């Protein structure tokens, strides 16, 4: 198999070739290495390619038999592998245990071959850190790949692997999916277990999942990673059938809530608004009922949530530094994160304060959207931004409050659904005039990933994106 053939397949397609004996897992790992060697010096997405990548463990068979996979440098862990959280403070640190997520990955046949870049502590929508530098967007290297699953998105978009691990605490899968032209699902709270050590972590806001290029890979990944484990705080309702089976099921008529006004401080760019309205028209042509929905919350509420969490983030960071015998200072932590740490240390917040803010926003949003089956929103109000700027944690100019206000403005359509726990997916349904991806977000009811799979399939069939290629793409030599 040539590299141009390798990157022309999604993960499901590569697994089928392995199962039929047309290619081996080791050959796929070699092709992934070839792709890495070709494009990673330009995009800086993969910060570690495992030396044992061609022999790394993975089950024979499985839905993703032999497919190369990448791990984000925060969240779910692999025992004995580096996990530095994008920070000098954790440089050289290794995980002591396997997370349930990566146990499932291996059981599915995925071969994890390396580790991807993130902004420090996954605290920014921008794709840069002092420890590992800038991750370029394959569509335009001068622009951000998005955060915090920056390296994962850039690697998949450029063709190094067809699928990669990500996690999402406020948009960290959906934002880079939107800016890099990928499919990025944030599942319902509880759909993917964070065990054994991150079950319902951080007030239940973050979830582990993947970034990929096709809806069928998204559906297959849901089948692979869904499930609960002992110690999970609650068990979500299980689906009636597999998500792969949902790909062949009819959608039915849906009531669609359409967001075409801003939900925060940043106005929608005209091309983004046009993409949302065009998708709404397409849904109407499909027979769905589309109705405008007003902003269901105020972005200041989301800023309050992020600031209220600061005391607990600061305490956790302090505990980790003490356990490692390291100091938290300007030599180990980036400027904004250091300010956020100091803000949290001075905060008098209590867990109940955070829970109350979360409860209020869940109630308000629930009341505003309960009559809709799905919501249609932009994923981001803008196309990918240039590197740097006020949303970078390396920027020393802002206070902690100012940084969180700027963050809330960019996360206006994503972070709210981490609070409510609803599943939401960004689909690469449009492009700007100069060829940059525009992500469209579909949100469904809590626990209803099945509807998202079906409507995403319909939209992919109506407006396919698989033919689009970024400027930086493997196998183009």
Active-site annotation holds for 316: no
Give me the catalytic one of 172, 310, 347, 426.
Answer: 172
Contact 451, 254 (CB under 8 A): yes
Check: CB of residue 123 under 8 Å from CB of residue 167: no
Per-residue pLDDT tens for 160-172? 999 999 999 999 9
Mark residue 113 as left, alpha or beta (left: phi above 0; alpha: psi -120 to 50; beta: remaining).
alpha
Verify whether residue 347 is a known catalytic residue: no
pLDDT in tens, 247-292: 999 999 999 999 999 999 999 999 999 999 999 999 999 999 999 9
The answer, yes or no, to whether residue 242 has pLDDT greater than 90, is: yes
As given in the structure block, the two tokens for residue 135 are 């991750």
Which pLDDT belongs to residue 364? 93
Q: What is the C-alpha separation between 121 and 316, in angstroms, rounded?
A: 12
Catalytic member of 108, 124, 129, 148: 148
CATH, range 3-462: 3.90.1300.10
Contact predicate 144/126, CB 8 Å: yes
Determine the pLDDT at residue 117.
98
Please state the pTM of the whole predicted model: 0.97
Contact present, 338 and 317 (Cβ < 8 Å): no
Of the candidates 121, 153, 161, the one whose C-alpha atom is nearest the C-alpha of residue 136 is 153
Across the chain, how many H-helices and E-strands are there?
16, 15
For 198-227, the pLDDT digits (tens) are: 877 888 899 999 999 999 999 999 999 999
- Is 91 a catalytic site residue? no
- Domains of the chain, residue spans: 3-462
> Which has more pLDDT, 308 or 287?
287
């Amino acid at each position: 198999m040539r590299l141009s053939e390798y990157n022309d397949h999604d993960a499901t397609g590569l697994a089928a070739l392995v199962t039929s004996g047309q290619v081996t897992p080791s050959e796929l790992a070699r092709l992934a290495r070839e792709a890495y060697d070709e494009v990673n010096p330009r995009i800086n997405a993969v910060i570690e390619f495992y030396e044992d990548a061609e022999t790394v463990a993975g089950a024979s068979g499985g839905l993703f038999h032999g497919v190369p996979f990448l791990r984000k440098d925060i969240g779910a862990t692999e025992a004995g592998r580096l996990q530095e959280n994008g920070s000098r403070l954790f440089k050289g640190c290794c995980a002591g245990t396997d997370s349930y997520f990566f146990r499932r990955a291996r059981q599915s046949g995925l071969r994890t071959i390396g580790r991807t870049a993130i902004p420090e502590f996954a605290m920014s929508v921008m794709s840069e850190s002092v420890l590992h530098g800038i991750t370029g967007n394959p569509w335009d290297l001068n622009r951000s790949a998005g955060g915090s699953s920056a390296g994962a998105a850039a690697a998949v978009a450029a063709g190094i692997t067809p699928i990669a691990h990500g996690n999402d605490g406020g948009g960290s899968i959906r934002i880079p999916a939107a800016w890099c032209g990928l499919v990025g699902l944030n599942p319902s709270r509880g759909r993917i277990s964070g065990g054994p050590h991150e079950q319902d972590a951080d007030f239940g806001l973050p979830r582990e999942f993947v970034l990929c290029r096709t809806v069928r890979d998204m559906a297959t990944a849901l089948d692979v990673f869904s499930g609960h484990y002992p110690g999970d705080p609650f068990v979500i309702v299980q689906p009636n059938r597999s998500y792969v089976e949902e790909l062949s099921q009819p959608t039915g008529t849906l009531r669609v809530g359409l967001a075409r006004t801003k939900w925060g401080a940043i106005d929608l760019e005209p091309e983004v608004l046009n993409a949302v309205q065009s998708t709404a028209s397409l849904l109407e042509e499909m027979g769905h009922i589309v109705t405008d929905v007003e902003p269901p919350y105020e972005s200041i509420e989301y800023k309050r949530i992020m600031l209220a969490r600061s005391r607990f983030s600061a305490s956790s960071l302090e505990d980790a530094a003490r356990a490692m015998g390291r100091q938290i200072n300007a030599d180990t932590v980036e400027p904004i994160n250091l300010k956020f740490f100091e803000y949290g240390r001075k905060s008098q917040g209590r867990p109940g304060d955070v829970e109350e803010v979360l409860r209020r926003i869940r109630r308000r949003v629930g009341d505003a959207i309960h009559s809709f089956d799905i919501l249609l929103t932009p994923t981001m109000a803008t196309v990918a931004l240039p590197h740097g700027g006020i949303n970078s944690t390396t920027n020393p100019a802002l206070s902690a409050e100012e940084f969180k206000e700027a963050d809330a403005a960019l996360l206006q359509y994503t972070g709210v659904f981490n609070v409510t726990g609803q599943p939401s997916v960004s689909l690469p349904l449009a492009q700007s005039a100069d060829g940059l991806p525009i992500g469209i977000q579909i949100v469904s009811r809590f626990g209803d990933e099945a509807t998202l799979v079906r409507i995403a399939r319909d939209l992919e069939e109506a407006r396919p994106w698989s033919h689009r290629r970024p400027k930086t793409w493997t196998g183009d030599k």
